[in-house]
């Protein structure tokens, strides 16, 4: 049959026929089952990350999590908890790593949804690694706002969030404008300072040429010293502020 002429139901039936995990779930392909009920089957991975690596698969052919009905997803969560508990007890594992590769970009290899439960021991060499990037305050707030709106839609929670989101967006815009204004002001005042300094120096040079050499240059030196000191102090203050920001973020993360 030409796949182009097939109904969605026929397409689904064909995908199921060709799916090795559907065949494992139905028992057509042999496996080492550790659990089975009406919705799911749990089997030992034939190439385990650690001995006891379990694959929890749905009996229906679903490719990614969004396709799975809510009640089955809830059931998967419950079964996962039981399997993890059993791994800790029966294999004396010190922990479990639980994950779903949801989509090809996330490293999904099979065309059938599965949840991995991997027993963990100290220094077992299993690496589920990810980088820890720094993020600016502005981006952090933007991501938070976008996600909260998306989560509210997906889960239908958090009433009054729309107003809050609009208010937050306004706040971010205002903060960004203020930063731009401040930068502009700083630039202007720097230019003004330079002009004043030049004028003062010129005036002093004239005075020096008129008066005795002893008194005036001292004053100028003192002023220059004071200015140099001020310049040294400023960058440190900035670094302190940055540090404070990072501390704030990490204490938030720990909470
Ligand atoms: Zn399948």
Cα of 30 to ligand 1 centre, how many Å?
15
Count of CB atoms situated within 10 Å of the CB of 171: 12
pLDDT tens, residue by residue, 22-54: 999 999 999 999 999 999 999 999 999 999 999
Cα-to-centroid distance, 18 and ligand 1 (Å): 8
> Average of pLDDT values for 192-215?
66
Angle of CA points 17, 23, 29, to nearest 5°: 135
Rounded Cα distance between 18 and 7, Å, is 17
Which of 27-41, 124-138, 241-255 shows the lowest per-residue confidence on average (mean pLDDT)? Answer: 241-255
Q: Which residue has the higher pLDDT, 165 or 71?
A: 71
Distance 236 CA to ligand 1 centre (A): 60
Q: Looking up tokens 């139905």, which residue turns up?
A: 26
Is 70 exceeded by the pLDDT of residue 238?
Answer: no
Q: Is the pLDDT of residue 176 over 80?
A: no
Report CA(113)–ligand 1 centroid distance (Å).
8
Angle between helix 161-210 and helix 137-155 axes, rounded to 10 deg:
170
Distance 57 CA to ligand 1 centre (A): 9
Residue 154 Cα to ligand 1 midpoint, Å, equals: 26
Q: In this predicted structure, what is the pLDDT of residue 254?
A: 41
Specify the range with the lowest mean pLDDT, choosing from 9-23, 135-149, 151-165. Answer: 151-165
pLDDT score at 165: 61
Place of tokens 């998306």: 150
Give the integer Cα–Cα distance in Å for 235 and 108: 48
Highest mean pLDDT among 16-25, 37-46, 124-133: 37-46
Averaged confidence pLDDT in the chain: 80
Question: What confidence tier does 180 reach under pLDDT thresholds 50, 70, 90?
Answer: confident
Whole-number Å distance, alpha carbon 103 to ligand 1 midpoint, is: 15
Q: What spacing in Å lies between the alpha carbon of 58 and ligand 1's midpoint?
A: 8
CA 36/CA 41 separation, integer angstroms: 4
Residue 253 has pLDDT above 80, yes or no: no
* Residue pLDDT, tens place only, 103-115: 999 999 999 999 9
| Cα(26) to centroid(ligand 1), Å | 10
Kindly report which listed range (134-148, 187-201, 238-252) carries the lowest average pLDDT score.
238-252
**Is the model's pLDDT at 163 over the cut of 90?**
no
Torsions phi, psi for 6 (to 5 deg): -85, 150
- What's the gap in Å between 14 CA and the centre of ligand 1? 10
Strand pairing class (54-58; 33-36): unpaired
- Centre of ligand 1 to C-alpha 83, Å, is 21
- Of 8-17, 98-107, 217-226, where does mean pLDDT reach its minimum? 217-226
Distance 29 CA to ligand 1 centre (A): 12
- CA–centroid distance, 63 to ligand 1, in Å, is 7
Alpha helices in the chain (DSSP H): 8-18, 20-26, 70-90, 137-155, 161-210, 216-254
Q: Is the pLDDT of residue 210 over 60?
A: no
């Amino acid at each position: 049959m030409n796949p182009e002429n097939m109904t969605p139901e026929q397409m689904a039936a064909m995908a199921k026929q060709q799916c090795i995990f559907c065949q494992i779930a139905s028992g057509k392909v042999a496996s080492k089952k550790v659990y089975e009920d009406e919705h799911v089957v749990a089997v030992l991975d034939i190439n385990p990350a650690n001995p006891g690596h379990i694959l929890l698969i749905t009996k229906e052919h679903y490719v990614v999590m969004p396709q799975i009905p809510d009640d089955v997803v809830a059931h998967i969560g419950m079964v996962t908890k039981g399997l993890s508990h059993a791994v800790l007890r029966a294999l004396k594992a010190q922990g479990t790593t639980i994950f779903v590769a949801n989509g090809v970009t996330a490293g999904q290899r099979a065309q059938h949804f599965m949840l991995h439960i991997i027993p963990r021991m100290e220094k077992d060499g299993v690496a589920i690694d990810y980088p820890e990037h720094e993020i600016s305050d502005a981006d952090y707030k933007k991501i938070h706002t976008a996600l909260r709106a998306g989560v509210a839609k997906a889960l239908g929670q958090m009433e009054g969030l729309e107003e809050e989101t609009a208010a937050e967006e306004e706040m971010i815009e205002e903060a960004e404008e203020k930063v731009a204004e401040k930068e502009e002001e700083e630039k202007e005042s720097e230019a003004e300072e330079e002009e004043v300094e030049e004028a003062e120096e010129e005036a002093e040079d004239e005075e020096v040429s008129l008066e005795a050499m002893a008194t005036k240059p001292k004053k100028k030196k003192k002023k220059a010293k004071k200015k140099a000191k001020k310049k040294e102090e400023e960058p440190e203050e900035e670094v302190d502020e940055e540090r404070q920001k990072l501390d704030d973020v990490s204490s938030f993360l720990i909470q």
